[in-house]
Structure 1
Amino acid sequence: MQHQLFGFLDSTPTALHTALQLTDRLSANGFTRLDPRQQWQLEPGGRYVLTRGASVVAWISGHSPPGESGFRVATAHTDSPALKLKHDAVRNESGYLVAPVEVYGSPIYSSWLDRDLSVAGALVVESEEPQAPRVVPFVFQQPCAVIPNLAIHLNRKLNEGFAYSAHDHLHAVLDIGADRLSGVQPREALLQAAARVAGVQASTIIRAEMFLYDTQPARRTALSQTLFSASQIDNKVGCLTVAEALCAAKTTATTAMAVFYDHEEIGSRSWSGADSVLLLHIMERIVALAGESAEARYRAAAASTIISNDAANGLHPSYRDKHDSAYAPLLGGGPVLKSDANQRYAGTPELEAAFAALCRQEGHPMQQLVSRADMRPGSTVGPFSAAHTGIATIDVGIPLLAMHSIRETAALADVLALRDVLRSYFA
């Protein structure tokens, strides 16, 4: 599992790359790619996958119609907090080639400074059909950018707490010396470099999306090597454990489904996010193709469950007061059930009890996370999935340190345990 996990983490620098990796992994395990614009022919036991942007939905059709046996769903999200390059604003400044950034989600700014960064994203290029341009992903494999800190001699109060301005302080340095561009405009220099990596002609580029990413690979750490650190553990681990569990699932009466949403880190309100009709429409389509009555969609929802798999904040040894001591998950302590009285984490008592039973069945301890009464927790795709479908939902995950840092830390044992529990859920 470590080899698969680290390979997945190191090869998915953006949400689009994550979606492509998931789709390839599912296809290699017998899932047939569907086009939502075409008519579908679904068979009991059939394995299917489709994409919408950087979101992926896959399922194994059950032996029984959904109106009788419902859906068993697990969700995760493909995106992570990031810094997006404003590539049209690349310029020569003070002898450097620099690019300003746009903040995606809520990254910890300071963790991005003085790192070996590179660039990944997608180019939208011309095709033979003007209304159907091609999307070509690309990754600069070598470090090519740095966001340098200001020396302590020039900012003596840096260690007393400093508020970085995303607009003024997070410019990425891409190169030195304007003469290196040989008369090429700064913006064109970056696009041409991306075109070479993507294997396309720069003149065919219509649009581009470029993100910075950390080039340091995932590594095991700790004296006992029980921990690992990597970029974007939140929520690439969620994606991989759900995908592995679905790939291992056998056909049962119930339709097993995995949903990997984009845009969770920015609120999920998009055409492919959890705060959309994506999941609802696919479920309704599956029910309709089973030849059931109009009432069947409502019976299917009542017979279904959703497990939302997203990372949880583990107890930090230097900030123990940020947790309620009775609900403070430890790295290596097992999967975490997340609860919130205000439903920022989705939950029903019955489904929470069922998840606890799955953990016991697999021989893994289960931890609980409830925030301090004076702190508001983050949220996940769980409440959106529950609200749009009317399906009982819970939120779970593995505990992390430094969530939303460019480098996060987790325990490999928790990943394996959650994968086992999700496999049991789909069984």
Structure 2
Amino acid sequence: MTAQTPSAQPTPAVPQEARAHTEDLGAFVTASPSSYHAAEEVARRTEAAGFTRLAEDAAWTVTQGGSYVVVRDGSAIAFTVPAAAGPTTAFTIVGAHTDSPTFKLKPKPTTHGAGGWWQAGVEVYGGPLLNSWLDRELELAGRIVTHDGTEHLVRTGPMLRIPQLAIHLDRGVNDNGLTLDKQRHTQPVWGLGDAQSADVLAALAADAGVDPAAIGGYDVVLADTQPPRAFGAGQALFASGRLDNLLSTHAALTALLRASAGAGSTSGAASIQMFAAFDHEEIGSASRSGAAGPFLEEVLVRISTALGATAEERARAFAASLHVSSDVGHAVHPNYAERHDPANHPVAGGGPILKINANQRYATDAHGAAAWSVACATAGVPTQEFVSNNALPCGSTIGPISATRLGIRTVDVGVPILSMHSARELTAVVDPWYLARAMEAVLVR
């Protein structure tokens, strides 16, 4: 008798709400080629929803029932104060980060290569998968600051490319593997011709509408220009640049905006609802706008001060608070399943993950895990656990950093993806939507 091959199970239909959420995630990513653009997009969206923008160098008027947003460089914090808030009202924070592994423009960025090529000098930022950046049309994006102190967001559109060496000149590449020198092999090309005509900063100045001689400083990175898109069977997969960690930033922002509007399960919040997204996570968070810096603590103190809290009352509020730190995690890779823990296999489409690490690379503890479980149950979304294979080092997040700095109980969560730190990463369409719904539920615990 001939064995019968089981028929493939149909791909579950993607709910329209999940598809709409991920389409909006794509729009958010497109608007955010750098952390500075992401922070401004957060401000734009919150202000459109009625939030008041606060300047850090001005006196704040924070009142019960108000919603506010603060931007510091490439970081942003938005929050809503319930009408009944007082000196000991707890904070519920959903946190993420705005930066992604990439390349950053060096000083004296205009360089010239053999054969008349114009090149741009770049430095590796974080831990990108270098090979994934080859043969892509890239743009420069970030900020320039003119000598008068004015900051300008800039993005050039498709302008550069890091070309790979042809196989005819590296016959063993497919058998021996690709080896890239971080200095010699990652400098992009962007033009040809007279060397005197090449000027990277002039291109940035033109985008900002300023004189190149007026540029006093810049923070500019490379970004892939390929648009995000759904694809695959049932259009159930989603590919995009910078999912690490704009996926979590967008989900947390969406949750806060829905919570502040009293949508769905979020009516009647008893805590101060807060969204916090930080720059520089990919390089350790140690900056004035990173999670290891003072930004979040200063905002929390200013809020509690506005509510009349003493130091004692603020400590009580912090003790009752909860921070959900969200960053992407590893879905089981079908071609490398042995790299994962044998018992804990997070799958794409299986819902957000709870991140656990015995050595506190993630901040999750039993109380945090229970709170996350309740939130997922309330939201009606599946959840799963992630723990690393013991033979492989574990990454980390903003969670342990903020927990150490503030003493606020923190739980680490995220969404399982493939190709983490690639120029283009992959997730299931439903998972960002699941994450946002769970975050929305946790905001009104």
CA distance in 1 between partners of 2:286 and 2:55 (Å)? 23
The alignment partner of 1:317 has SS state of: coil
Instruction: Give the aligned partner of residue 18 of structure 2.
Output: none
Amino acid at match of 1:73: I
1:109-129 Cα distance to aligned partner (Å, 9 max, x none)? 0000111112212111133xx
CA distance in 1 between partners of 2:128 and 2:272 (Å)? 36
Change (3 A) 1:172 1:87: farther
Alignment match of 2:168 (pick from 150, 153, 167): 153
Structure 1 residue 67 displacement after superposition: 4.2
Structure 1 residue 87 displacement after superposition: 5.3
Amino acid at match of 1:107: P
**Residue correspondence of structure 1 range 18-417 to structure 2 within 5 A:** 18-65=38-85, 67-86=87-106, 88-94=108-114, 95-127=116-148, 133-141=149-157, 143-159=158-174, 160-178=176-194, 183-184=196-197, 186=198, 189-249=199-259, 250=262, 252-417=269-434
Amino acid at match of 2:189: V
Amino acid at match of 1:11: A
The alignment partner of 1:224 has SS state of: helix
Contact persistence 2:109–2:122 (CA under 8 A): no
CA distance in 2 between partners of 1:366 and 1:231 (Å)? 24
Structure 1 residue 339 displacement after superposition: 0.3
1:358-377 Cα distance to aligned partner (Å, 9 max, x none)? 21222211010001122221
Moved more, 231-240 or 64-73: 64-73
Structure 1 residue 89 displacement after superposition: 3.7
Structure 1 residue 294 displacement after superposition: 2.2
1:266-299 Cα distance to aligned partner (Å, 9 max, x none)? 0001111111222122212211221122201110
CA distance in 1 between partners of 2:111 and 2:45 (Å)? 40
1:20-70 Cα distance to aligned partner (Å, 9 max, x none)? 101111111111111122221111111011111111111111334454331
CA distance in 2 between partners of 1:413 and 1:295 (Å)? 43
Contact persistence 1:351–1:392 (CA under 8 A): yes
Amino acid at match of 2:304: V
Aligned length: 415
Unaligned runs of 5+ in 1: 128-132
The alignment partner of 1:342 has SS state of: coil
Contact persistence 1:32–1:47 (CA under 8 A): yes
Contact persistence 1:51–1:57 (CA under 8 A): yes
1:87-132 Cα distance to aligned partner (Å, 9 max, x none)? 51422222110123200000000000111112212111133xxxxx
Amino acid at match of 2:306: L
Structure 1 residue 207 displacement after superposition: 1.5
Query: Over aligned residues, Cα RMSD in angstroms?
Result: 1.4
- When the two structures are superposed, what TM-score results if normalisation uses the length of structure 1? 0.94
Change (3 A) 1:372 1:97: same
Contact persistence 1:264–1:381 (CA under 8 A): yes
The alignment partner of 2:93 has SS state of: strand
The alignment partner of 2:324 has SS state of: strand
Contact persistence 1:5–1:240 (CA under 8 A): yes
Identity in percent: 38
CA distance in 2 between partners of 1:158 and 1:224 (Å)? 35
Contact persistence 1:275–1:388 (CA under 8 A): yes
- When the two structures are superposed, what TM-score results if normalisation uses the length of structure 2? 0.90
The ranges of structure 1 where at least 4 consecutive aligned residues each deviate by more than 6 angstroms after the TM superposition are none
Structure 1 residue 328 displacement after superposition: 1.5
CA distance in 2 between partners of 1:7 and 1:53 (Å)? 21
